[in-house]
Amino acid sequence: MSIERIELLTPDLFLDEPAEFLVKQTVLQLLQVPQFVELFGERIDPYDRTDYSIRELPAIRFYNLGFTKDFDSWFVDGECKLDIILPASLKRETLQFVSDTLSGVMIQQFRRPTFFATMRTLVPGLNEFGKRVTSRKDLMFDLSGDLMPLTQITVNFRIDLREWDDYMTASGRTKDDPFEVSLGKLKRIVTEIQGLLDDNSVDPVLTLDQKVL
């Protein structure tokens, strides 16, 4: 049996957790907007990425840090964060203008009825998305000791687990067997640890091979 690379696994089968599924689908939709691709290229990441280089800025990362589900409720409530990371080389007045413009554009994106309608069809059970939005422009991103301006937009979401459970069942996943289909052929996680010498060359490289199940 072949072993698939984790980044090549089908997203709608690999992600059992509705919040992470929402994150992945949102980024895929943002990448469909030509203006965003023009500004950020493919640097719109569906996780809390921390290893950007200065050449990769500006960039966006969209992620979820958790959610809440009450025992007697069918709903999952949480927040997603969208970070716009800009290069520090921008002049102060330009930085303020760019930060205001991009944050405003992103807020409007989440307020668009057509955007929510699209996300509603992609994420089973999505009940609210961006009904509450907050913005912060006083944050910084630490890039190897250098601080980069970071604008953060927080949007709420609510997912109805009754619809989510129906989707899971339809794709061969139930409460009794919730993850077997999702893992599929994924059996091992292989990573590399690189040592950095004084001349910035990499040596040695250690490989870690971790069996999943």
Mean predicted confidence (pLDDT) in 116-123: 94
- The residue extents of the domains of the chain are 17-177
- The pLDDT value recorded for residue 195 is 60
- The pLDDT value recorded for residue 27 is 94
CA distance 66 to 156: 11
Q: How confident is the model at residue 196 (pLDDT cuts 50, 70, 90)?
A: low
Q: How confident is the model at residue 2 (pLDDT cuts 50, 70, 90)?
A: very low
- The pLDDT value recorded for residue 166 is 86
Record the pTM. Answer: 0.75
Query: Residue 183 to residues 12, 62, 188: CA-CA distances in angstroms?
Result: 11, 23, 10
Q: Is the pLDDT of residue 41 over 70?
A: yes
How does pLDDT run across 96-109, given as a tens digit for each residue?
788 888 889 998 99
- List the CATH code of the domain at 17-177: 3.30.70.1700
> What is the edge-to-edge ordering of all strands in the sheet holding 44-45?
44-45, 59-68, 75-85, 146-160, 126-143
Q: Is the pLDDT of residue 60 over 80?
A: yes
* DSSP conformation class of 90: S
How does pLDDT run across 158-179, given as a tens digit for each residue?
999 899 888 888 877 666 665 5
